[in-house]
A = this chain, B = another copy of it.
Amino acid sequence: MIRDMFPINRSLTGAGVRQTLAIIARHIDLTVHEVATGTPVLDWHVPMEWNIRGGTIRTLDGRCLVDFAQNNLHIMGYSKPVHGVFSRAELARHVHALPDQPDLIPYRTGYYADDWGFCLPDRLWQTMTDDSYQVDIDSDLSPGAMTYGEFFVPGETQDEVLITCHVCHPSLANDNLSGIAVATALAALRAGRRGRLGYRFLFLPATIGAITWLARNEARLDRIVHGLVLTCLGDDGPFHYKQSRREGATIDRAVAHVLAQAGAPHAIMPFNPYGYDERQFCSPGFDLPVGCFMRGVHGTFPEYHTSADDLDFVKPEALDGSFAVLDTLLDLLDRDCTYERIDGRGEPQLGRRGLYRAIAGQREAGGATQMDLLWFLNLADGRHSLLDMAIRADVPFGRIEAAARLALDADLVRPVAAREA
Contact = CB atoms under 8 A, between A and B. Distances in A.
Please tell me how many copies of the chain the complex holds: 3
A345 B41 CA distance: 12
Interface string A372-412: 00110111110000000000010000000000000000000
A343 B43 contact: yes
Interface string A167-183: 00000000000000000
A405 B284 CA distance: 18
Contacts of A214: 346
Interface residues of A, number: 40
Nearest to A372: B273
B380 A284 contact: yes
Contacts of A371: 272-274
Most buried by B among A274, A341, A347: A347
B349 A44 contact: yes
Contact of A284 (B285, B286, B345, B349): B345
Nearest to A380: B284
Interface of A: 42-44, 112, 207, 211, 214-215, 218, 245, 272-274, 279-280, 282-287, 341, 343-349, 351-352, 371, 374-375, 377-381, 393
Given A214-B346, A274-B371, A284-B346, 15 more contacts: A43-B347, A43-B349, A112-B351, A272-B374, A272-B375, A273-B371, A273-B374, A280-B346, A283-B345, A283-B378, A284-B344, A284-B379, A284-B381, A286-B345, A286-B346
Considering the complex of A and B, which 9 residue pairs feature the smallest CB-CB distances, nearest first?
A: A285-B345, A284-B381, A273-B378, A273-B374, A42-B346, A43-B348, A283-B347, A285-B344, A44-B349
